[in-house]
Protein backbone atom coordinates (compact mmCIF):
# COMPACT_ATOMS: atom_id res chain seq x y z
CA UNK A 1 0.00 0.00 0.00
CA UNK A 2 1.03 3.61 -0.48
CA UNK A 3 2.90 5.06 2.50
CA UNK A 4 3.61 8.76 3.01
CA UNK A 5 6.63 9.56 5.17
CA UNK A 6 6.74 12.72 7.28
CA UNK A 7 9.26 13.79 9.93
CA UNK A 8 7.76 13.35 13.39
CA UNK A 9 8.62 16.87 14.44
CA UNK A 10 9.91 20.19 13.15
CA UNK A 11 10.99 23.08 15.36
CA UNK A 12 11.30 26.68 14.28
CA UNK A 13 11.65 30.08 15.91
CA UNK A 14 8.93 32.69 15.45
CA UNK A 15 9.38 34.68 12.26
CA UNK A 16 11.42 31.96 10.59
CA UNK A 17 10.41 29.53 7.83
CA UNK A 18 9.17 26.02 8.53
CA UNK A 19 9.36 23.31 5.89
CA UNK A 20 7.54 20.00 6.38
CA UNK A 21 8.24 17.20 3.93
CA UNK A 22 6.07 14.34 2.72
CA UNK A 23 7.90 11.61 0.86
CA UNK A 24 7.07 8.65 -1.33
CA UNK A 25 8.23 7.28 -4.65
CA UNK A 26 6.99 9.48 -7.47
CA UNK A 27 4.71 11.54 -5.24
CA UNK A 28 5.19 14.29 -7.80
CA UNK A 29 2.72 12.46 -10.02
CA UNK A 30 -0.02 12.75 -7.40
CA UNK A 31 -2.04 15.63 -6.00
CA UNK A 32 -0.95 16.35 -2.43
CA UNK A 33 -3.05 18.03 0.22
CA UNK A 34 -2.01 19.40 3.64
CA UNK A 35 -4.04 19.62 6.84
CA UNK A 36 -3.43 21.49 10.06
CA UNK A 37 -4.80 20.00 13.27
CA UNK A 38 -4.66 21.77 16.61
CA UNK A 39 -5.25 19.86 19.87
CA UNK A 40 -8.86 18.86 20.37
CA UNK A 41 -9.92 20.20 16.98
CA UNK A 42 -10.80 18.72 13.62
CA UNK A 43 -8.28 19.00 10.79
CA UNK A 44 -8.37 22.01 8.48
CA UNK A 45 -7.00 21.92 4.94
CA UNK A 46 -4.32 24.59 4.46
CA UNK A 47 -3.06 23.59 0.99
CA UNK A 48 -4.77 21.41 -1.61
CA UNK A 49 -3.79 20.15 -5.05
CA UNK A 50 -0.08 20.61 -4.28
CA UNK A 51 -0.09 24.41 -4.03
CA UNK A 52 -3.61 25.85 -3.93
CA UNK A 53 -4.68 27.70 -0.82
CA UNK A 54 -8.29 27.69 0.42
CA UNK A 55 -9.91 31.03 1.11
CA UNK A 56 -9.10 32.21 4.59
CA UNK A 57 -5.71 30.52 4.76
CA UNK A 58 -2.86 33.05 5.06
CA UNK A 59 -0.47 33.48 2.14
CA UNK A 60 2.28 32.40 4.51
CA UNK A 61 1.23 28.82 3.78
CA UNK A 62 2.40 27.35 0.48
CA UNK A 63 3.04 23.96 -1.04
CA UNK A 64 5.19 22.33 -3.68
CA UNK A 65 5.46 18.83 -5.08
CA UNK A 66 8.09 17.29 -7.32
CA UNK A 67 9.85 13.97 -7.72
CA UNK A 68 9.70 11.99 -4.50
CA UNK A 69 8.93 14.83 -2.08
CA UNK A 70 6.10 17.25 -1.41
CA UNK A 71 6.73 20.18 0.91
CA UNK A 72 4.56 22.43 3.00
CA UNK A 73 6.26 25.77 3.64
CA UNK A 74 5.14 28.17 6.34
CA UNK A 75 6.77 31.60 6.13
CA UNK A 76 7.06 34.00 9.05
CA UNK A 77 5.94 31.35 11.51
CA UNK A 78 3.71 32.50 14.35
CA UNK A 79 2.96 30.91 17.71
CA UNK A 80 -0.53 30.12 16.45
CA UNK A 81 0.90 27.87 13.73
CA UNK A 82 1.92 25.32 16.34
CA UNK A 83 -0.04 22.20 15.40
CA UNK A 84 0.14 18.78 13.79
CA UNK A 85 0.37 18.80 10.00
CA UNK A 86 -0.65 15.91 7.76
CA UNK A 87 -0.13 15.34 4.06
CA UNK A 88 -2.70 13.30 2.11
CA UNK A 89 -3.05 11.85 -1.38
CA UNK A 90 -5.45 9.68 -3.29
CA UNK A 91 -3.67 6.59 -4.55
CA UNK A 92 -5.23 5.83 -7.91
CA UNK A 93 -3.80 2.32 -8.12
CA UNK A 94 -5.47 1.14 -4.91
CA UNK A 95 -8.30 3.69 -4.93
CA UNK A 96 -7.48 4.56 -1.34
CA UNK A 97 -7.00 7.86 0.43
CA UNK A 98 -3.73 7.94 2.37
CA UNK A 99 -2.51 10.24 5.14
CA UNK A 100 1.06 10.74 6.21
CA UNK A 101 1.97 9.99 9.79
CA UNK A 102 1.88 13.65 10.75
CA UNK A 103 4.46 16.23 11.80
CA UNK A 104 4.29 18.18 15.03
CA UNK A 105 5.37 21.77 14.43
CA UNK A 106 6.86 23.36 17.52
CA UNK A 107 7.33 27.11 17.62
CA UNK A 108 10.22 27.77 19.97
CA UNK B 1 -23.22 27.79 7.21
CA UNK B 2 -21.68 24.61 5.85
CA UNK B 3 -21.66 22.10 8.68
CA UNK B 4 -21.17 18.42 9.47
CA UNK B 5 -22.23 17.04 12.85
CA UNK B 6 -21.39 13.50 13.91
CA UNK B 7 -23.24 11.46 16.49
CA UNK B 8 -23.57 7.91 17.72
CA UNK B 9 -20.27 7.37 19.47
CA UNK B 10 -19.96 5.85 22.92
CA UNK B 11 -18.56 3.02 25.01
CA UNK B 12 -19.00 -0.42 23.45
CA UNK B 13 -17.83 -3.84 24.49
CA UNK B 14 -15.47 -5.80 22.23
CA UNK B 15 -17.40 -7.72 19.64
CA UNK B 16 -20.26 -5.26 19.68
CA UNK B 17 -21.63 -3.01 16.95
CA UNK B 18 -22.19 0.68 16.56
CA UNK B 19 -23.76 2.97 13.98
CA UNK B 20 -22.31 6.43 13.57
CA UNK B 21 -24.19 9.22 11.82
CA UNK B 22 -23.22 12.51 10.28
CA UNK B 23 -25.79 15.23 9.59
CA UNK B 24 -24.96 17.69 6.82
CA UNK B 25 -26.30 21.20 6.39
CA UNK B 26 -25.58 24.35 4.45
CA UNK B 27 -24.71 22.69 1.13
CA UNK B 28 -26.19 20.38 -1.50
CA UNK B 29 -25.29 17.10 0.16
CA UNK B 30 -26.15 14.96 -2.86
CA UNK B 31 -23.47 16.69 -4.96
CA UNK B 32 -20.55 15.51 -2.86
CA UNK B 33 -18.60 12.37 -2.15
CA UNK B 34 -18.20 11.84 1.60
CA UNK B 35 -15.58 10.21 3.81
CA UNK B 36 -15.01 8.83 7.27
CA UNK B 37 -11.61 9.36 8.87
CA UNK B 38 -10.58 8.17 12.32
CA UNK B 39 -7.91 9.10 14.82
CA UNK B 40 -6.90 6.85 17.69
CA UNK B 41 -5.76 8.53 20.91
CA UNK B 42 -2.42 10.23 20.38
CA UNK B 43 -2.15 8.92 16.84
CA UNK B 44 -2.47 10.28 13.33
CA UNK B 45 -5.34 10.51 10.90
CA UNK B 46 -6.41 7.31 9.17
CA UNK B 47 -8.77 7.23 6.23
CA UNK B 48 -11.56 4.67 6.73
CA UNK B 49 -14.13 4.84 3.97
CA UNK B 50 -15.60 6.87 1.12
CA UNK B 51 -18.96 6.86 -0.62
CA UNK B 52 -19.92 8.39 -3.93
CA UNK B 53 -22.42 11.22 -4.19
CA UNK B 54 -25.27 8.90 -5.22
CA UNK B 55 -24.33 6.22 -2.73
CA UNK B 56 -23.65 3.71 -5.47
CA UNK B 57 -19.94 3.24 -4.88
CA UNK B 58 -18.19 2.64 -1.58
CA UNK B 59 -14.53 2.10 -0.80
CA UNK B 60 -12.87 0.94 2.42
CA UNK B 61 -9.40 0.95 3.89
CA UNK B 62 -7.85 -2.50 3.72
CA UNK B 63 -7.50 -2.51 7.52
CA UNK B 64 -11.26 -2.34 8.10
CA UNK B 65 -12.69 -4.06 5.05
CA UNK B 66 -15.46 -6.49 5.89
CA UNK B 67 -16.40 -4.99 9.25
CA UNK B 68 -17.57 -1.55 8.19
CA UNK B 69 -20.40 -0.38 5.99
CA UNK B 70 -20.80 3.20 4.80
CA UNK B 71 -24.15 4.48 3.56
CA UNK B 72 -25.97 7.72 2.94
CA UNK B 73 -29.48 9.10 2.67
CA UNK B 74 -29.44 12.10 0.37
CA UNK B 75 -33.04 12.98 1.16
CA UNK B 76 -32.23 13.22 4.86
CA UNK B 77 -28.71 14.61 4.23
CA UNK B 78 -27.12 12.02 6.44
CA UNK B 79 -24.03 9.83 6.20
CA UNK B 80 -23.73 6.65 8.28
CA UNK B 81 -20.99 4.23 9.25
CA UNK B 82 -21.90 0.82 10.63
CA UNK B 83 -19.04 -0.80 12.54
CA UNK B 84 -19.31 -4.47 13.47
CA UNK B 85 -17.15 -6.84 15.52
CA UNK B 86 -15.62 -3.91 17.34
CA UNK B 87 -12.05 -4.29 18.59
CA UNK B 88 -9.95 -2.26 21.01
CA UNK B 89 -8.04 -0.85 18.04
CA UNK B 90 -11.26 0.71 16.74
CA UNK B 91 -11.15 3.12 19.69
CA UNK B 92 -10.87 6.53 18.05
CA UNK B 93 -12.48 9.82 17.20
CA UNK B 94 -14.42 9.32 13.98
CA UNK B 95 -14.73 12.31 11.67
CA UNK B 96 -16.97 12.67 8.67
CA UNK B 97 -15.61 14.87 5.92
CA UNK B 98 -16.71 16.25 2.59
CA UNK B 99 -14.56 15.73 -0.47
CA UNK B 100 -13.95 18.98 -2.31
CA UNK B 101 -15.67 18.92 -5.68
CA UNK B 102 -13.14 18.36 -8.44
CA UNK B 103 -10.20 17.39 -6.23
CA UNK B 104 -9.37 14.64 -3.73
CA UNK B 105 -8.94 16.60 -0.51
CA UNK B 106 -11.48 16.97 2.29
CA UNK B 107 -12.57 20.56 2.63
CA UNK B 108 -15.20 20.34 5.37
CA UNK B 109 -14.91 18.28 8.55
CA UNK B 110 -17.17 17.61 11.48
CA UNK B 111 -15.96 17.88 15.06
CA UNK B 112 -15.95 14.11 15.43
CA UNK B 113 -17.62 11.50 17.62
CA UNK B 114 -15.68 9.32 20.04
CA UNK B 115 -15.88 5.53 20.04
CA UNK B 116 -14.37 3.62 22.93
CA UNK B 117 -14.15 -0.15 22.78
CA UNK B 118 -13.58 -1.65 26.19
CA UNK B 119 -14.96 -4.27 28.52
Of A10, A12, A9, A23, nearest to A100 by C-alpha is: A23
With cut-offs at 50, 70 and 90, classify the pLDDT of residue B79.
very high
pLDDT digits (tens, 9 = 90+) for A60-90: 999 999 999 999 999 999 999 999 999 999 9
To probe the interface with A, which of B68, B105, B107, B112 has the most A CB atoms within 10 Å? Answer: B105
Does the pLDDT of residue B22 top 90, yes or no? Answer: yes
Which residue blocks in chain B are alpha helix, DSSP H? none
| For residue A1, pLDDT beyond 80 | no
- Closest CA–CA distance from residue B22 to any residue of chain A (Å): 14
For chain B, give the mean pLDDT. Answer: 96
Cβ neighbours of A103 in B, within 8 Å:
none
Contacting residues of B for A39, CB less than 8 Å apart: none
Q: Do B107 and A54 touch (CB under 8 A)?
A: yes
* A79 in contact with chain B, both atoms CB, cutoff 8 A: no
CB-based contacts of B42: which residues, under 8 Å, 6+ apart? none
pLDDT in tens, B37-72: 999 999 999 999 999 999 999 999 988 888 999 999
* Bridge partners, residue B6, by sequence: B22
**Which residues numbered 38-57 in B keep a CB inside 8 Å of some CB on A?**
44-47, 50
Residue A18 contacts residue A74 (beta carbons within 8 Å): yes
Kindly report the nearest CA distance between residue A53 and chain B, in angstroms: 11
Out of A31, A41, A45, name the one closest to residue B107 (CB): A45
- pLDDT mean over B1-21: 97
Cβ separation A95–B45 shorter than 8 A: no
**pLDDT, tens digit (0-9, with 9 covering 90-100), for A87-103:** 999 999 889 999 999 99
Amino acid sequence: SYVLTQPPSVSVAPGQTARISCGEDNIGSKSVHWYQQKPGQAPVVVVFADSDRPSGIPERFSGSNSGNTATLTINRVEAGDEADYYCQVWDRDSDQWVFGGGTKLAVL
Amino acid sequence: EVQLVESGGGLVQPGGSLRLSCAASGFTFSDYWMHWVRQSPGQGLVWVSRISSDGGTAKYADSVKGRLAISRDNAKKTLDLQINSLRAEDTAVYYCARERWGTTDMDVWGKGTTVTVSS
